[in-house]
Structure 1
């Protein structure tokens, strides 16, 4: 077997690889962000390799990826393990559920934590067809992972990056929460349907209109960009209207400093009944602790928006107005999140925890997004240039 060093040209969708005693840790945010704002929640989610894949061409028929995972588990609640999805020449070939790894067990009622150590995991891919092929090992979106070793029975070369690069930023829904596997999260579904290369900056609980995130997008290579904002600001009760609207303008201004003409799509939140007309903060419902499905609730007062408090309904109107006010930016478009998942969809495909879609709803959202954004004449088709201003959902 040949051992190939895991270098950044083999690992797509990252800012950098950090050498650690346990292996190479993929980071979706650069070191300067992690140093400037070492928030434990942010550090935890950016280290989960959502949208990250090891991609190479090879004639190998046998591939092994050794990894060391780390995850948070909640006592009394069964959460699915992360998966590694093996995609060969664009088609799903195998799905490997992680075993072992380290974990931190949290008691939701007391807040007590207990650490457990576990062994590395080996993803083994066998019986690949002979001849040249492109292999992508999509890493789990819901567990932190260190890459230990890549072993094959033939040499590998970095896969050719020949598709338009789409940089997307959003919340836990963009991160992939409640999807079962890494290629089932909606940005991956959309990227595969749209024929684009994804860099996913969906960060669970951390789509907070942070200036450093705008700088990351500003400095990142990108052919097309989308930004989905709102739900985290509501469920953290992080801003009032007076702060939110200028923050969004500033966020877009910073992106435009590095990408003045790049197609840019601003997206409002999908439907979530608990926050449609009720401000945050959101919280876990204690009545569901220990059940098969913990649920979220909104703890604000319904309709309490007179002092500038934010709900999803208010956020959607505000983001639509922001897009409309930026008449000097012909490459900026707006998409109402209700077009991706609305109230009728919530009846047909309910949010299991009242906040995050399951794999089937992720697939629906990804397909709808791809049709809108990457379809003929869509706002993120690279052929549009300066002619493509669109505001949808009116």
Structure 2
């Protein structure tokens, strides 16, 4: 074990972080955000505020000869009244791009949410330390992927050898926006969320704007994407529009056009992939809203149910089947003037036949095995030869 004087403390600065759009100085340290301050100022929704501050896809990246690394963090963990406590968030260690260890945090705050009212109460806790030892000798690239589902304030970074930023390796940047499924929902760890799996297969740098419950075609999210440098862009939309029952067909089509228009204002020729929802049996033909099944919560289980009436489709209420048809139509229409715009049917990532062997445990969110399945499918469909994100020459 290293003694106190062996450690070198390196200031936590933007050049050591990837995947965040903004860094907020707090009383404890540095809080990575996945939306910029201007967007956060226009948001009034506590769900999105929580989701964008959870560092899905955000990682510390540095070059060092260190064999031991300590990271002090202050986490905020979520718990829900009446259901089993969620597992601790994991930190994934990569050395020269390969998995080299995992650790979980300790201490920290707990946000307890009552799903009957969606009110939350925070119980404060202390800063914790994540420790990795036994790293290989010699200079190497080190990545520490932060927990995708726990707000994480970075307090201090200590190593037993100096740290420097990793030089640009020339990899393409993939900017992705989606729902809780893209955020990571019930994935096994931060590098096992489906976008991280797909990014690894594609050899690209991920910027993940998957926001649990919050892929709502918000204009401020579109502007954030417009202003973020990227070589590849994808937008996976639909399920949260149904979950929240936030718009009808009349509003949905123009909102999609507006979202894509805004992205195109900053990225006129970038490959842009529109991805429709994966299969979700409860909402294929039944509109939202989605609500937790309170009778199941009383048994300690979290399951979701569709609360809409299929007959309401006639008045413009949205189902997943309707949304897929509308997205395909919009992309066909726009692609006549935008050859770099592409469509991917979410059923090709996870369809009804996949659900038979890999069911969604809570009826909405994929589990760890299904995240891998979706990530590998996306990698094969998007990044290989002939796909919209295939490397060109």
Q: Give TM-score scaled by structure 1 length.
A: 0.95
Q: Write the distance in 2 (CA, Å) between the matches of 1:215 and 1:156.
A: 34
Q: Deviations over 1:100-136 (max 9, x none)?
A: 2101223445666543222222111111111111110
Work out whether residues 175 and 232 of structure 2, in 8 Å CA contact, stay in contact via their aligned partners in 1.
Answer: yes
Work out whether residues 185 and 365 of structure 2, in 8 Å CA contact, stay in contact via their aligned partners in 1.
Answer: yes
What secondary structure does 1:305 align onto?
Answer: helix
Work out whether residues 69 and 146 of structure 1, in 8 Å CA contact, stay in contact via their aligned partners in 2.
Answer: yes
Work out whether residues 170 and 228 of structure 1, in 8 Å CA contact, stay in contact via their aligned partners in 2.
Answer: yes
Q: Write the distance in 1 (CA, Å) between the matches of 2:230 and 2:11.
A: 27
What secondary structure does 1:249 align onto?
Answer: helix
Q: Write the distance in 2 (CA, Å) between the matches of 1:237 and 1:108.
A: 17
Q: Can you give the 5+ residue segments of structure 1 that lack an aligned partner in the other structure? A: 385-394
Matching residue within 153, 167, 174 for 2:160: 153
Matched, 1:117 2:121: no
Work out whether residues 263 and 382 of structure 1, in 8 Å CA contact, stay in contact via their aligned partners in 2.
Answer: no
Q: Write the distance in 2 (CA, Å) between the matches of 1:334 and 1:254.
A: 18
Matched, 1:198 2:206: yes
Matching residue within 20, 23, 27 for 1:14: 20
Q: Within 5 Å, which residues of 2 pair with 1:1-394?
A: 1-78=7-84, 79-109=86-116, 113-162=120-169, 163-326=171-334, 327-383=336-392
Q: Deviations over 1:37-57 (max 9, x none)?
A: 232221110000000000011
Cα distance, 1:160–1:233 mapped onto 2, change above 3 Å: same
What secondary structure does 2:387 align onto?
Answer: coil
Q: Write the distance in 1 (CA, Å) between the matches of 2:391 and 2:364.
A: 33
Q: Write the distance in 1 (CA, Å) between the matches of 2:220 and 2:118.
A: 30
Q: Write the distance in 2 (CA, Å) between the matches of 1:89 and 1:145.
A: 24
RMSD after superposition: 1.3
Between 332-341 and 370-379, report the one with greater CA deviation: 370-379
Q: Write the distance in 2 (CA, Å) between the matches of 1:101 and 1:137.
A: 19
Q: Write the distance in 2 (CA, Å) between the matches of 1:111 and 1:167.
A: 30
What secondary structure does 2:315 align onto?
Answer: coil
Q: Deviations over 1:208-233 (max 9, x none)?
A: 11111111111110000000010000
C-alpha displacement of 1:292: 4.4
Work out whether residues 82 and 180 of structure 1, in 8 Å CA contact, stay in contact via their aligned partners in 2.
Answer: no
Q: Write the distance in 1 (CA, Å) between the matches of 2:45 and 2:124.
A: 24
Q: Can you give the 5+ residue segments of structure 2 that lack an aligned partner in the other structure? A: 1-6
Work out whether residues 84 and 140 of structure 1, in 8 Å CA contact, stay in contact via their aligned partners in 2.
Answer: yes
